[in-house]
Every structure is written in structure tokens, then in C-alpha cells.
Chains A and B, each alone.
Chain A
Amino acid sequence: MLATRPAFPLAACLFAGLVSVRGEVTPDHAARMQAGTALFEKTVGPAFTEHCLSCHGGEKTRGGLDLSTRESLLKGGESGSAIDLQTPEDSLLLQLLRHEEKPFMPAKKPALPAPLIADLGRWISLGAPYNAPLTDGKAAPHQPMRVTDQDRTFWAFRPLTITEPPPAQGEWKDSPIDRFILAALTANAIQPNPPANPRTLARRASLDLTGLPPSPGALDRFLSAPTTQAWSDYVDHLLASPQYGERQARHWMDVARFAESSGFEHDYDRPTAYHYRDFLIKAFNEDLPWDRFTSWQIAGDELAPEEPLAQMATGFLAAGAVPTQLTEAEFERARYDELDDMAGTTGAAFLGLSVGCARCHDHKYDPIPSADYYRFVACFATAIRSEKDIAFHPNAYQEKLVPWQKRQLELEDELRRYEASAIDPGFTAWLEHPGELTPLVGDRWSLLEPDSVTSTSGTVHTRQPDGSWLATGNVPANEDYVVRSTVAAGGAAVRLEALTHPTLPQQGPGRAGNGNFALSDISIDALLPGTTEPQAIKLTAARATHEQNQGSLSVKSSIDGDREKSGWAVDAGGIGKDQAAVFVFEKPLTSPAALTIRMRFHLNGQHSLGRFRLAVASDPATDFEVGRGTAQNLAEGMAALKKGSASLSPPQQEALRDWYAHRDAGWQKHQAAVQEHLAAKPAPDVKPVLICSEGVKPLKHHADGRGYPHFYPEVHTLRRGDPKQSDGVAKAGFLQVLMPAGSEAERWQHEPPAGATTSFRRASLAAWMTDVEKGAGQLLARVIVNRAWQHHFGRGLVATPNDFGFQGERPTHPELLDWLANDLITHGWSLKRIHKTILMSATYRQSGDFDAADSAKDPENHLLWRFAPRRLEGEAIRDSLLAVSGLLDPTMFGPGSLDENMRRRSVYFTVKRSRLPNSMLVFDWPEHLVSIGARPVTTVAPQSLYLMNSPQSRQYADALAKRSGGAIPTLYLLALGREVTPAEQAGAEAFLKKQSAYYQNQSDAAHRALTDFCQALLSSNEFLYLP
């Protein structure tokens, strides 16, 4: 083993072989200890004190490693032994100091000088003796982490450094991006590449910005005169195309671990989750400023409650995977996991910080104490998933509503004018000479004229002309209707009509979403003259026009004494039709009575009656006669009229007039016109949307039956992340390292406005995250411009887009990153501007050519001496295949699909966690369970199998073959956006001739051969790579 390590001084190796690990004393022990101690006193000890102890032995013992004593050094840290006395060269400590292994030490600082490290190695080989402990020995075993100003100087946490871009010459002199890039290249004696040819550039930019190959029109416009201005126009055109938003949305969906199902064992669909994807597309297309974009995803419900997009944005928080089958023992843990998902994804996505690492202990590498984690988590304490009905296209609705309202008023006016001119004179005359009219129709149901109709939950009831009452307003989960009315003597049964109405779901008669209702109980009290205590009227029998079943939803179950668990309902054939039930009194009323009729709707949530009418009859066997009945006032009015019109009470006169008008054909025509128009009232475009909010009805959960609480009002600081080990309630707050020392969260605290149903803790969080002065706003900007950069160049300026912490990569061009972040902030957080700036740079426009000399200096192209080609993502591949074959369906928005044969863009694949489409998975689609900042780019056989054998791939090839009309030049233009070379033309012709032979028995051999040719072209590297 020693022989393989020639870099290490030979002498030390020999010594190392003599060191005993079992504590045996070797003959030269004393001499070696002496030499080692001397070395320790001279260089090693001072180096520990200067470079290491602030984290490993002073106040802190990061990673559990304490260098203050020999004993603690030998004990090692959480990663095991720090030094290896037997083979000193294997010491982890040395590897870290030499920057051979990560984390490089000293943390966040340049490497120690090589001679010093060599001394250290020698010292270890001498047995690592200390002359004395380096601290007073009181180093606490483990103190809670303190966030210091020193921590705030780490590159990601300190304020943006605004540097003047270095000067440059020629094509690289204008763009600040180019000046930063060129300076670094020049410093390394590397020449950047010349510009790529215009055709390549056009293809690159189109695939990059929109995920689709260039459209022929735009391409031709640009190529006809590829000037800088034309390039600028071309980029503008791409940024303005709707496909830009689709592409950018898909990038962010990875980061947001967006999916449309719950995951875990049941993977229940979330059919209203797609609105978040639609929000992203719209927001990117509208260039919603990134600070607002961010805030809405965290707290859109609090910050812009009237804005549909802001509600859809909260789908970000709702998108996580949650377990569905839970036992009671798992409830609390499951909720903490859910909060961890919300907080962790928020931290990684917006701030590039692995906040979640501080759940069980202080963050191992970043200055995020566990207490900060729980404060951060507490911002989400009461936030839950819900569905909200949101009115879309409010303007379009208003545009339809206003003319409708105008017409409605006109029709009503026409009716009133007709009444004034035709009805009123006739009625007045008739009142004086009523004799010739036949007596009223013999309706046996006498309609009640209630004194009051009320609801225990505030539902408003409005009397309709036919004596029925229509319910409006919010539908409460449960309520009682209470009707008070006086009736004449003789009543022996009451009839309850459940009536339809255009405003009710499915026309009613109920208010539930399916038009049903469930009358869990009906009871009647009667106050008789001369008494003060109402008496209950016993209802002995019930019958109905329709019952949902003969058991717990039958009409009899409304009078069965059970007031909650059973009752009359009318689904299974009765929806959208008028219904009635008759309840028979035990004894007829012997005198007039003041009735209190109480109808209860407690059986099923929101199953109240939409429109009802009550009537009594003296014969309990009277048929239902739905829709018919004599209004009480009318009957009494007719009787009174016999004594002359002067004796009519105003209600009686009104009832008579109403009756009179109804008999008039002209009036009927006008009335019908009013009703017809009323039924055609435009409805707002209301759709349920998955949101995250507070104080709302939780989305149904599988464990509801076991009493899953959905949330706990408070978040506790937990030891080791264990809900059973609380260190007290955690108050909502933010990360100390991203606020000035001593700064308190109150600075950003939003007071909930009066009547707010949410805590505004998330609004406060959003305020802190977007605050560029004192909060996290500058880091927010760094993180998003880095993501933009990454999608253009394949690698971010920070190569770990989700980790800007200590474990992450350092920026290759820190000044450029800060310049871009500052540019974003100072220009209204416009991402389109950042994209435009990048695409206009000479850096972006370089050719992809390889250069051996440059590569030797910078093999991974970190300094960007070329535009390195890279494989397209699965979406861009599939979308391009659809586009060039002419099969692409450009329909935007709305519910997605799981069907591989769908022809819309891949962003419209429904992301169901247990059924991810194979065409995406093979090309490194993420699993959408955790935030993914950068996808792997692999080259594996299943990708080839997909392109060779999938039915879709064959279909695309077939369509392209047809679209080309068999012309090879057209084919190349369509598939690759370029002209065919003569050699390629000849090669294609030779291939087709030979290939046709394999299909010689087929009538369409030529087409089949061409299809094979197309498939090869569409599977080629030229097609699959961003040039």
C-alpha cells in the first residue's frame, strides 16, 4: 500500500510503519514524541489555532470533530477517524486539507500552504503528540449553533458585489457578460470560439427558449439578413411566443417537484392541480416579476386573494407527495413530513439552501441552526391543501353579463308597460264586475304564506311569484330552515314541494353539487289560540313522488326520530325534476294555528333544499298535485270579493291581480320572455383549483375516517426531528444568516387584516424572501439568474443550482453572477430581460467547436470558451418529433393526459407519480418527489429502444415521410432545419433503393423505406442535440 503513494515523503512512511496503534511503546518512542511535540509547538499547533479551532474545538465542533486535544482528535468526528496513525497518508484530515476530498478544508478558505500540510503529515506519522491542549479544555461538548457575522460573509450570503465589468475589445466589448467571461478566459490564456453560423444559432436559440425547432417563417426572416438587429428581433420573437412559457414552466416544474397525484400507496389523483402548471405558463409568458412570482407561490392567497393566478400559484406548496394510509400513531410525524416538504422545497427552490438538513440537528455545513429550521417550518404551520372555486376570465364574463342585464331590464320594463296598459284597467273593471268569472279552480292544496323563512346558517330565502322560496348565498355544510306561518282550521297534512330552478346545480331541487338534497328531519309545532306553549304535531305517515331508496334515504326516514343519519333524498332519477312529499298529521287541526315548521339538513354536507313551497290540505289522502295549489290570500280574496272589492286586504288584492294577469295571453307572452331570458343568464367560468391556504376546508384525506387532523395549530422545535421530543413551540421566523445580526422577524411581519382567515405568516415569509435590503432578496435573485444561465449553457455559474451552501459548488464567475442578479433586481425582476441579455452575448453565440489546446486548459468548459452541445431533454425531443412530423397539437392549458399517444406538448402530460410516461422517464425525467435543480443526462439503451421500437416513434417517422412528399431536401429541411448535402442526397437515395427491397412484397415499399429513413434521421445525434 505504501508503495502506491510516492508523493509522500519516504521517511515518514517508514516511520509510520513503526507506529503502534495498540499503544505498545516502540524503542524509539521517546525520540519520536520529542520530534513530534517540537513540530506541534512550532507549526502544527499554531496552524490548528489559526485555521481550525474556530469550528473544531473552540465554541463549535462542526462535524463532531474537536482538534483541541489529542484525545478528541483521535476520537475523530462523525465521519470516523480524522487521522490514521498506522498509515498517516490515509488520514482523512490530510485528504481534506490537500483538497483531494470534500469538504475542502479549511472551510470556505484557500488551501493551507503545502509545506505546512507536509509538516502535519509528518507530525501524524510521529504519533500526533500535543504538548498541551489547545484550549483550556472547557470546549463544550456540543453547543447550539450560533449564527455569526463571519457566517454572513460566505459568498452566497453576503450582499451582491457590484463590479464594473472588465474592458474588452471587438465583438466582446459590448455585453457585460462577455467582458466578465473574456477576462477569465484571457487570464487562463484561452481564446473563445468564433460565432456559430446563423442557422445553428437559430436552431439553438429556438430549442433553448421554446423547446421546439424554429418555425420556417421566423427562421427565413432571420437567415435572409442575419444582422445583430435581426438576431435581436429573432430572440424577441421567441421570447414573445407562447411556447416560451411552456418550456420555462416545465423547467420550474422539476424544481417545484410538481405532480398531479398524492404519491405513496394510493397515489390519488389531484385533478385540479394542473392549474399550477397553467399558472406557470401564463406567469412566464407575461414575465411576471420574479419577486411577485415567488411571493404568490408562497402566499398568493394572502397577498392577492382576488387574483386567480395568485391562488393557482399556491399549488406550489400543495404539490408534495403525502402518505395516504396512515395509522393514528403516524399522524403527527406525517404532518411534520409534509411541513418539511413545503419548507424544504421552498428553501431549495428559491434560495438554493438545503434548509431540510437542519431538521434533526444543526445544519452540518451551513449556518442554519435547527431552531431556524423550525421557525421556518412554523411559517407553514396551518397551511393545508384545499380546493377553491375560482372564476376564470372575469372580463369575458362581464362582457357577456352587461348586455344580458340590459336586455333583462328591457324585458321587465316591457312587461310592466303591458301590465299598465292592458292588465291594470281590465283588473280594475273586473273587480267591480267579477260575477261572470267562474269560481276558482278546485285546488285542494292551500299554499302557505309564511310570515318568515329563516336559516340557522344565514342562507337567504327569497319569495318567488308562485309562493315558493329560493335559497341563495353560500351553502353551509349543515343548516335548519325554519318557516313560520298561520293556517286555517282543518289542515290534516302538509305538502313540501322540492322545486327546480335554473340557478341551482343540475337545476336542483337541492343545493348539493349534484342537485340533490337530504332532508334529515322535518318537525312541526303548532301554537293554538289561547295558548302560550306550542304543541308538537305528530307526523304519522309520509309519501313522496320519488325517493332515492327505500331505506336511509326514503321520505319516511325524515320522520323516523333520527335527525341526522337518515332522510329524504331524490338522487337516482329525481334530479332536475320537481318533487313533493306529503306528511300526514296524527290529528287534523281543530282551530287556526301558528305553525313553526323546521326542516333539518344534517345528513350530508351542503345538501340543503334549493327551492321549496309548503301547502296544507284538509284531506290527508290528497294527491301530490305538484305545481298546483291555491294561494291562501287568493282563496280568502275570492271569498272576500263576494262582499265587494272594498273589503279586500292589500295582500288579497295583490293575489287576485296576480291570478287575473296569469289568465291573460298577452301577459303570459311577456312573462315567458322574461323567464326565458332569466334562464339564459351567463354563468361565470368557475372551476375548482387546488390551492394551499389556511382556515379552509381540507382536501379529502384517506385517513379522515381515523380522524386525521390535517394540521396542528403549533409547530414544536423537535430534538432529532422526533415529534415525541419537543423543545417547546417554535415561533414563525426566518433564517438568521440572511438577516442582519439581531434583526428580528417582526421587521417583515404582516399583520393579518381585519377578518383575515389566514395567519399571514407566509405573507411575512414572502416579504422576507423578496426583501433585497435586509432579507433574502439578493440570494433569491442569485438563485434564479443562475437557473436561467444553467438552462442556456447546460451548467449554472453555480453548478449546484439547489445548493448555494457550503457543500455546493462555488460560482465559476462570482462577479458575473452578482452582476446578473443586480440587473434582475434593478430592472423589475424581469426574467425575459435576463434571457435576452444572455442570448445577445457573444458568449452564447459562440460555435460549439472543440479545441484541443483550450480543452487541455479547461476540459469541462467551465470558463465557456465554447458553446458545448448537449442532449435535449425528453420533452424537447418528443415535442420536436411531433413538430417536425406535423403532428403537434398546440392546444394550451387545461387538464393534461396520461396517454403516450397524446399529441400536445409534453408539458401537458399529467404528472401522476405512479404512472410517469415512459417516453419521459427514459430521458431522465425526475420522479417529481423532491426538488430537482439539474437533471442527469444519461445515454442508455432504453432511450434507443424508445426511438427504435415505440409505436409513437414509428408514427412520427411515418408522418414525416408523408409530410416530405418523398423529397429528401424537404426532409432534411423539416427534420434538421438545414439543406441536404449532395453526398447525403446520394447516400439517402442509395439507402432507399436498398431498403425498399426488404419490403418488396408490400404495395407501399417506397413509403416504408422512406419511413425507416425518417426514423433514422429523427434518432440521429444531430436531431437529439442542442447544437
Chain B
Amino acid sequence: MNAPLFSRRSLLSRAGAGAGLLGLASLLQEEQLLADLPDPLSPRRPQGPARAKRVIWICVNGGPSQVDTWDYKPALEKHDGQELEGFDKFTGFFANSVGGIMKSPFAFRPRGQCGKMVSEIFPHLGGHVDKMAFIHSGHTESNNHSPALFMMNCGLPRMGLPCAGSWVTYGLGSESRDLPAFVVMSDPLDRGLPKGNASNWSAGFLPGVYQGTWLKPKGDPIDNLFRPTDQPAAAQRGELDLLARLNREHLESRPHETDLTARIESYELAYRMQSAAPEALDLSKEPEGSKKLYGLDQKHCQHFATQCLTARRLVERGVRFVQIYSGGMENQRSWDGHSDIKGNHSQFAGETDQPVAGLLEDLHQRGMLDDTLVVWCGEFGRLPVAQKGKTPGRDHNPHCFTAWLAGGGVKGGVSHGESDELGHKAALDTVSVHDLHATILHLLGIDHEKLTYTYSGRRYRLTDVAGEVIRPVLA
């Protein structure tokens, strides 16, 4: 019985913004009715004060190890090789290859003004710790990739629910008239999609317009984006002019059908997208300095640098929510370091360190970091004990992960929550995935308890029945 996101009156008072909102007034809450909005993507102001206007989410796919990245645990060194007493061998995925406590193969050193201890695999990112708020006490509900990914993206470890990007787009609409509001980029190196595929950017039961647009790493980035090759540009313009005329004639006897008008506009919008989207994705006009900043000139991280720079160009042009997946399917194709944690994490940190650092720096220089929220996290963490093998790895750990937030309304150089001595379980000021979601929504000016959608008799929200804003990380 939550109050709706927008009260009827507040909507009516803004009805001047467009006829579509009149429909929204009575219908926003209703499964059936929202649907009939001619433009469900019209931009909307959130109820609360927004510190961030947009989100870039680095999805550290496969589950990064907190103790080898940001959560420095000297005790691991002390107990290296010892058995972890009372450890439940079903915590991870492989119950039969549980080894002893394993120290990090990486050296840590203090970075930034705040002196945060950072793993050597992040030489560039380490320089930005004063912009970041670390959360060391994250925990989730599944020890398995796809449910944990669904949890991180959609709030429950199940398929079929809207993801955070869809909720945000539903709540705030789109700032861009000719680009999608919510864009997802996956691994471009043939290492596959995150487990669970497109369900990770699904709109679930929300209308399909809120689903993430997946920029395909190969071929046309967006379906049907380009004019047919057999049709010259002038011919297409001619055809669309004809179409507009046919539609206007049709409309003459039906002047009150608003969605007929909306469709006439949507052809013009599509026409503009044909040039706007390729323009946004074309990095050739970026200055060399920019490209270098992201590491576009470095072979080992070129692909991710391209995606990070693209992300900046997209948000600059009004895209609301961007997710970039580092790595593809599981095992060595992502951060899923079951075997050889050292090699695995060195590789994936190497692919992303400079590009993400470049993104933070670039946003900062452009003054965009103030209202752009950058999120870095995986679907779960990894265990402090070894996964036995020729080159030891670490297995999944749902009980503890580290995430960081930076930019839009986030306090820099702080660490929130603590894991236990070994980084095995979240211990102090624990943070659930719901809390993380509530915080992200809060920064966007949305009360997570009020952003609801009635489906099949129940008001759903991203945070299910839980979630508390992590106040200490707010600036």
C-alpha cells in the first residue's frame, strides 16, 4: 500500500508538459493503463532531490575477489595455508575442492589522500580512491552466477523481474529524444554474454520500452538502425515524407487519436536515430588525448576503453543508464577465477583498470562526475580459502563482496562496512543488494519504496520488501 511515485495532483500540475501525462495521471500505477501512454519515455522529474542524473555501471562479471582487489586482509597472510575451521563446503560452487586459507597473490599499498589500501592490479584506479565510496560488507542470496546476477540486476535471484536500469527508466523516462534511455554493452571479445543473457537487462513485467538496449558488439549495434542499402538517403526521406502525408490525411478525420499523432512523430524520431546513434558510437572525432586517457592505444584494454569512452558519449547525449560488462560467460572468460586467481584477476584488472580510471577522470574534467553515478561491482565476492588446483583459484562467495560508488552525490575516499578478519563474511554494517539498489535510486532522487508497479495484484518494487539507503556514503 505504498503511495504512488507521483501523486495525481503533482502530475496534473505538470500536464502542460504533454498530453500524454494526462493519461499518466490516472494510470501510472496500473498494469493495463500505463501501457496506453503514447510516450512512456517522456522525461520525468523525480519526487526527491536528485544528486545523480545518470548511472554508468561497471559490471565486474563473474564475481571479483574482494580480498585481491579493495578489501585488504593482512590476516590472510598470517593464516595462509591453514584450514578455515567450521567452513561450510557448500558455500561455493565446488564442494570438493576446498583448500586452505590463501593469501592474496597481490601486493597492496596505500593510495590517495585517504590512504586506502589498494591491490597492485589497479595502478590507475588506485589514483581515484578519493572519489570512491567503498562498501566492504555487501552480501547476496545465491552462490551461483545467474541467480546472483539476477539478484544484482533485478533484486531477486529469479528470472522475470525488471532490472534496475528498467526501473530507473520507468521512473525517470529518457532525457534523449533520439537515443535509447538504457544501454548495455557486453564483452566484445567473443567470450559470451553474462550468465542469464538478456534477462539481466530485462524489463520483466514492465512494458518492453523500458528494457535495456543491447549494443551488439558485432554487426549493427542496434537492430534495423541503418537505412536499407538499396535505398538512397533522399529516397528514404521522400518515402517518409509520403508516409507523413498519408498519416496526416488519415488523421484528418480522427484528430483526437493521440497515439496516431505519436506514431507520426516516432518515424521522425527513428529517422533522427539513424544518424544520432552512429554519431554517438563513432569515436573517431574524439581527441587523441581522450583516447589515450582511456587506454584506447593499449592493445590489452582497447576493447574496454572503447566501451568506457562510448559510455561517456552516451550519457553526455542524454542516455540515462549504461551498463558495461567486463568479461563474458563464466570461468576464465570472466572474473570467475576458479583456477588461477592470480592470472585471472591480473588479466581482467588489466583490461579495465585504465579505461575505468580514464572514465572517472574524463567525467571529472568535464564536470559530469558531479551528477553521474559510477558503480563498480560484481554479482558476488570470492572465498578467502583456495579452490584447489594446479594454480589455485577462489570459489564463489555470496556472504561478502566489495562494491564502490563514485560521483553523483557520493562521498569520496570513504569505506563503509567491514568484512570479517579474513574477508569471508560481511561483518559490520552489512549491506544487502536491496540496500545498494535503494541507495542508487535515492541518489537519482527516487524513494525506492515509492517506485512501484502493480503486476498481477501486487505492487512490485526493485527492492522487494527491504532496502535501506546507505546514508554514510552520501555526500
- Measured CB to CB, the residues of A under 8 A from B are 4, 63, 77-80, 92, 95-96, 100-103, 263-265, 267, 321, 323, 325-330, 337, 348, 353-354, 356-357, 364-366, 795, 799-800, 802-803, 805, 807-809, 848, 850, 852, 855, 869, 871, 913-914, 918, 921-922, 924-927, 929-946, 948-951, 954, 984, 987, 991, 994-995, 998-999, 1008, 1012-1013, 1015-1017, 1019-1022, 1024-1025
Contacts and interface: CB of A to CB of B under 8 A. Distances in A.
B415 interface: no
13 contacts: A95-B7, A265-B145, A323-B159, A329-B143, A330-B142, A802-B457, A807-B458, A930-B204, A939-B38, A949-B224, A984-B249, A998-B232, A1012-B242
A327 B146 contact: no
Given A325-B146, A328-B90, A1024-B263, A949 B4 contact: no
Interface of B: 1-4, 7-9, 13, 29-41, 90, 93, 95, 142-147, 158-160, 178, 195-199, 202-205, 207-209, 222-228, 230-232, 234-236, 238-240, 242-243, 245-247, 249-251, 254-257, 259-260, 262-264, 266-267, 269-271, 273-274, 449, 454-458
A948 B254 contact: no
A795 B230 contact: no
A77 B449 CA distance: 13
Given A930-B456, A943-B266, A1021-B263, A325 B144 contact: yes
A918 to B, nearest CB: 5
B255 A941 contact: no
A1020 B266 CA distance: 12
Nearest to A918: B223
A1016 B7 contact: no
Given A1008-B230, A1022-B246, A927 B204 contact: yes
A927 B246 CA distance: 33
Contacts of A943: 266
Contacts of A871: 259, 263
B240 A327 contact: no
Contacts of A337: 158
A850 B209 contact: no
Contacts of A1013: 239, 242
Nearest to B235: A998
B160 A934 contact: no
Contact of A929 (B204, B235, B238): B204
B273 A1021 contact: no
A948 B225 CA distance: 9
A64 to B, nearest CB: 9
B24 to A, nearest CB: 13
B4 to A, nearest CB: 6
Contact of B266 (A96, A365, A931, A940): A940
A14 to B, nearest CB: 21
A1020 B209 contact: no
Contact of B209 (A323, A918, A940, A948): A940
B145 A325 contact: yes
Given A803-B457, A930-B160, A999-B235, A1021 B247 contact: yes
B457 A925 contact: no
A80 B204 contact: no
A942 B449 CA distance: 31
A948 B205 contact: no
Contacts of A945: 222-225, 270, 273-274
A719 to B, nearest CB: 14
Contacts of B270: 941-942, 944-945, 948
A356 B227 CA distance: 46
Contacts of A987: 245
Contacts of A803: 31, 456-457
A290 B389 CA distance: 60
Given A330-B147, A948-B224, A850 B142 contact: no
A92 B4 CA distance: 10
A101 B254 CA distance: 33
Given A808-B457, A1021-B263, A327 B246 contact: no
* Residue of A80, A264, A936 with highest tally of chain B CB at under 10 A: A936
Nearest to B206: A936
A1013 B458 CA distance: 47
Given A92-B3, A263-B159, A945-B270, A323 B238 contact: no
Contacts of B39: 939
A941 B266 contact: yes
B272 to A, nearest CB: 9
Given A869-B254, A939-B39, 8 more contacts: A80-B2, A264-B159, A330-B144, A855-B256, A995-B242, A1008-B235, A1012-B231, A1012-B242
A936 B162 CA distance: 15
A949 B227 contact: yes
Nearest to A65: B1
Contacts of A914: 197-199
A356 B35 contact: no
A938 B159 contact: no
